Amino acid sequence: MSVFSQIVRVVRLSCQFPTIVVLSSIVLAICSVGYSATHFAMDTNTSALFSPDVDWRKDEADLFRTFPQNADATLVIVDGATPELAHSAAAALAERLSADRRWIEAVRRPDGGAFFDRNALLFGSAQEAQASTAALLQARPLLEPLARDPSIRGVAAAFGMAMMGVEMGAAPLADMAPVLGAAADTLDRFAAGEPAHFSWTRIFEGGSDKTPSRQLLLVQPKLDFGALTPGAASSAAILAAAKDLKLDPAHGVTVRLTGAIPLADEEFSTLAENMSVVGFVMLAAMVVTLWLAVRSARIVVAIVVNILISLAITTALGLWAVTSFNLISVAFIPLFVGLGVDFGIQLSVRFNAERLEVDGAAEAMTRAATALGGPLLLAAGAVFLGFGAFLPTAYVGIAELGVVAGLGMVIALVFSLTLLPALLVLLKPGRPRGDVGFAWAAPADRWLERRRSLVLWAFAIAMVASVASLPLVRFDFNPMHLRDPKTPGMTALADLVRDPLRTPNAVSVIAPDVAAATALAAKAQTLPTVAQAITIDSFVPADQAPKLAAIGEAKAQLAASFAAAPASPPSDAESVGALRDMADRLNRVAGAASGAAKADAERLAAAIARVADGPPAPRAEAIALFVDPLKVTLDRLRASLEAGPVSRETLPPEIARDWLAPDGRALVQIFPRGDSEDNETLARFTDDIRALAPNASGLAVTTQAAARTVSWAFIQAGVLALGLVTVLLLAVLRDLREVAFTLAPVVLSGFLTLGTCVVIGQPLNFANIIAFPLLFGVGVAFHIYFVMAWRNGATDLLQSSLARAVLFSALATGTAFGSLWLSSHPGTASMGKILMLSLAWTLVCALIFEPALLGPPRRAATNKAGAG
C-alpha cells in the first residue's frame, strides 16, 4: 500500500471517529502548554547563534575562560558635569555596590581608584609630569590656604591672596579671568535655578579637559536564571543605588548601563514589547484571509483551532528538542502559522470544491485528501529538507530553526490530515455557493496562452537584471544593528563606541607570555589601522625617574600644606563674612581694571554678595558648589604626590589579573583607528590584526567572522537543500523536466527578492536572511501544487480552486510573516519585511511565471482547472 493511499486512509478514519480525534488533540495541546509554560527559555546571546566548534567561537571561549571577569559583565558608565563629580560618583557607587552581596558579585574600576589617583602624574611623558608639578608649585599661594582650610573661608583666603598680588602689580587681573568667569557663571546658573557645577581640576589644568569627566565600573552581577531577563534584578539594584546616592542629572551625574547582560535583557524586552500587538494583527489578518479563502465561518474556526493546537504541540516539541529558543529559532511561530495555514487552506478549498459534487462532508474530505495528499506530503517534505539543510552548518541559529520548523511541518501535516477533517465533520459547514475558483480569471488564462513567450522573456530580463545587481547587495552582519538603538543600553553603547579608547569594537589577543604580548603590541602599533595597543606593561609608566624626581620636589614644597590637619568648618556667620570680604576685594580690584576681566570680577562680586545676603539654606548649597569639588581635587592632588616606583610586581592584583592569567598568558587589547562603527573600517582593522594574531577575538573579530560564517552556511545549505529537494522531486515526479519546472521559479523569486533589496536599500542581516530558506520551502510547495496538477492534465490554472488556494495561502502566510514587520525589535522587523518581499515574488512567480512556463498540459485534460 502506497504512502498516498495511507494518507487517504488516515483522513477517512479521522472522519469516522471525529470526537476521539478532537478530544485527543485537546488533551495533547493542554499537556504541551503545561510543558512549555514550565520549560520556556530564550537565549538572546547573538554569539550562541553559531556553533561553538568554529575557530572564532573557540578563540572567544578561550578568552573568557582565561579572563572570566570580562564575560557576562555589566558596564556602568558614570558621566559627570566635571571630573570631580565623575570621580566622586564612581567611587561612591563602587563602594555601595561592593556592599551589595545579594545582586553583585564583584565591582572593578578599570580606569579609576587608588592606584590611578596615586600614579596619575606618572602616566604621561616626563615633560608633562614636570609641567604639571611646575603648575602646582606656581599655584602654591592658592593651594596652601585651600589645603589648610578646604571651606569657603579657605577659598576666600586664597582669593584674597590672589587679589593682593593683583593690587601689588605682581600679576594682571587678566590672569585670573578663567577663574573669575567660571565662578561667576556657576553662581549665575545657580541663581537662575539651572544645573550649576564648578571644577577646580580644570582651573588648575588651565581650563583644559585632560582629566576625563567619565568613569567606568565593571560589575559582575549575580544572575537570576529563573527569570526571562536574568540580569534585570542586578541592573535594577545598580540603578537603585545610583538613585539613592543622588547620582542623577539634577546633581550633575548620569549613570547608564550597557554591556552583555543589560543588552541581552533589553533584547528580550524589546522582542516581547509589542508581541501582543503583533500576535493580534497576525491572528486578525489570518482570520480575515481565511474567510475570504473559504467563505465559511465554520471552516475558518476549524482551521484556526487546528493551527493553535498544532502550534502548542510544536512549541513543546521544539523546546524539548533545542532546550531554548534563540533570536532566530523563535521565528518558527509565524513560520509555522504561515505554512500550517497553507495546508489547511489547500485542503479546505479543495474540500469546498468537492462539496459541489458530493453531499457528505466525510466523503468530500476523503476526495480532497485523495487529490491533495501527494502534493501536501511532497510540499511538507521539501520544506523539511530545505530547513534541514542547515543542520550540518555552523549557523546554529537557523539549524535550530530548521529542527523546530521540521518538527512543525510534521505536526502541521499530521494534524491537517487528522484534526482538521475531524473538526470539519463535527462542525458541518454548509455547501459553497457557486464555483470556488476564479472564473473571472479566464481572460488571464487566455492571455498567458497567447503571450507565453512574452511573459517568459520578461521574466528572463528581470532575472538577468537581478543577477547583475547582486554585487550591490549589502550585508550588514553587525549584531548590534539588530537591536533597538533607542534602548538605554544601546544609546550608552553607541556613545561609548565614539570614544576611541573605550570603544567595545576592540580586538583581544591572548599571548603566551608578557614578552610575546609586548612584542605583538609593538607590531600592532605600527599598523595604520591601529590607534593603540595595551598590555599589562601599559600600566607600568616609562621614564619614571625624572617624573618621580619632579613629583618629589613638588611634594617637598607642598608637604606642610597638605599634611596639616584641616581647619574646623566655619559657622554660617563666618561664611557670610568670608563671602563679603571676597566681594569687597573683587570690587576694589575691578575698579582699577578694564576689559573682560573687569566685567567678570564685577559679575562675580555681585553674585557673591547676593549669596551672602540670601537665606542660609541656599547659601549652603551655593558654597557646596565650590567646596565639595575642592575637597575631591585636593584629595587627588594629595594622592598624586604620594606616587612611587611602579613595576609589574607592584601592580594591584585586580589590575594585574585583568591582563595576566595565572598560567602566565598575557592579554593584549588593540583599538581601531577611525570610525569603528563603519563596517569597512572594522573589517580592515580586524584583517590586519588577524594577520598578526590568528587567534584574535573580541567584538570586532566576532562581528566579521560571524558574517563569513553566515555566508558560508548559506552556500552550504543552499547547495545541500537544492540537491536534497531535487532528489525528492525526482523520486516522486520521475521526470527531470518537471523537477526543473518546480525549481526554476523558486530560483527566480530568490534573485528577484535580492534585486528588490538593492532597489529599496535593504541590507541583509543575521535575522532577515532566513527569508531565503523559507522562500525556498514555500516556493517549492506552491510550485509542486501547480506542477502536479499540470501533469495530471489540469488546464486554466488561474481559474482553478488551486489558484484560489495558493493565492489565499500566500496572503495568509504573508500576513503571518508581515506582522513581524510591526515588531519593536529591528532585527525581527527586518525579517518580516524581507519575508513579505520574498513571498510577494514567490506568489508572482507561482501565478504568472509558473503557468507560462508549464504551457499546455502534457496529457489530455481529464478535468478542468480544478484538478489537483
Spans of the chain below 70 pLDDT: 1-2, 44-47, 205-211, 225-228, 267-278, 327, 331, 334, 434-435, 477, 479, 564, 816, 858-868
- Give SS3 for 70: helix
Residue length, the chain? 868
Q: Which residue has the cell 616609562?
A: 542
Cα separation, 772 vs 161, in Å, equals 77
Distance CA 538, CA 518 (A): 9
**What is the residue whose three cell numbers read 580690584?**
589
Phi first, then psi: what are they for 511, rounded to 5°? -100, 155
Within 10 Å of residue 55's Cβ, how many Cβ atoms? 12
| 256 contacts 77 by C-beta, under 8 angstroms | yes
Q: How many CB atoms lie within 10 A of CB 571?
A: 10
- Element housing 237 (H / E): helix 232-244
Residues 281 and 659: their CA atoms lie apart, in Å, by 52
Cα separation, 214 vs 42, in Å, equals: 34
pLDDT of res. 274: 61
* 538-570 residue pLDDT tens: 999 999 999 999 999 888 888 777 776 777 889
- What per-residue string of b and e applies to 679-708 under the rule 16 or more CB within 10 Å gives b? bebbebbbebbbebbebbbbbbbbbbbbbe
What was the pLDDT predicted at 243?
94
Q: Distances in Å between the alpha carbon of 351 and those of 366, 369, 421, 793?
A: 9, 8, 10, 20
pLDDT at 821: 75
Return the pLDDT at 865: 43
Give the ranges where 418-502 is alpha helix by DSSP (H).
419-427, 442-450, 452-468, 488-497
User: What is the Cα–Cα distance from 46 to 450, expressed in whole angstroms?
Assistant: 52
Residues ≥6 apart with Cβ < 8 Å to 652: 113, 114, 115
**3-class DSSP assignment, residue 121:** helix
Give the whole-angstrom CA distance, residue 510 versus residue 419. Answer: 58
Place of cell 534563540: 326
Q: What b-and-e string marks burial along 293-320, b requiring 16 or more CB atoms within 10 Å of the CB?
A: bbbbeebbbbbbbbbebbbbbbbbbbbe
What is the per-residue pLDDT for 229? 76
Q: In what order do the strands lie in the sheet with 74-80?
A: 104-108, 214-221, 74-80, 253-258
pLDDT tens digits, one per residue of 308-337: 999 999 999 989 988 888 767 776 776 777
Can you list the pairs that 728-734 forms with residues at least 24 positions away whose Cβ atoms lie under 8 Å?
A: 728/378, 728/381, 728/382, 728/385, 729/378, 729/382, 729/784, 732/374, 732/378, 733/787, 733/788, 733/791
CA dist 211 and 200 (Å) reads 11
pLDDT at residue 858, as a whole number: 62
- C-alpha span between 686 and 697 (Å, rounded): 9
Cα separation of 336 and 331, whole Å?
9
Buried b (16+ CB within 10 A) or exposed e, 153-166: bbbbbbbbebbebb
DSSP 432: P
3-class secondary structure for 607-638? HHHHHHHCCHHHHHHHHHHHHHHHHHHHHHHH
- How many Cβ atoms sit within 10 Å of the Cβ of residue 258? 23
The residue among 776, 307, 792 whose CA lies nearest residue 802 is 792
Write out the H or E segment, with its range, that includes residue 345. Answer: helix 332-355
H or E element, residue 219: strand 214-221
850/699 Cα distance (integer angstroms): 46
| Amino acid letter, residue 757 | C
pLDDT at position 331 is: 66
Report the pLDDT value the prediction gives residue 741, as an integer from 0 to 100: 87
Task: For 107, list phi and psi in degrees, rounded to 5.
Answer: -130, 130
The three-class DSSP label of residue 236 is helix
CA distance 735 to 729: 8
pLDDT computed for residue 544 by the predictor: 92
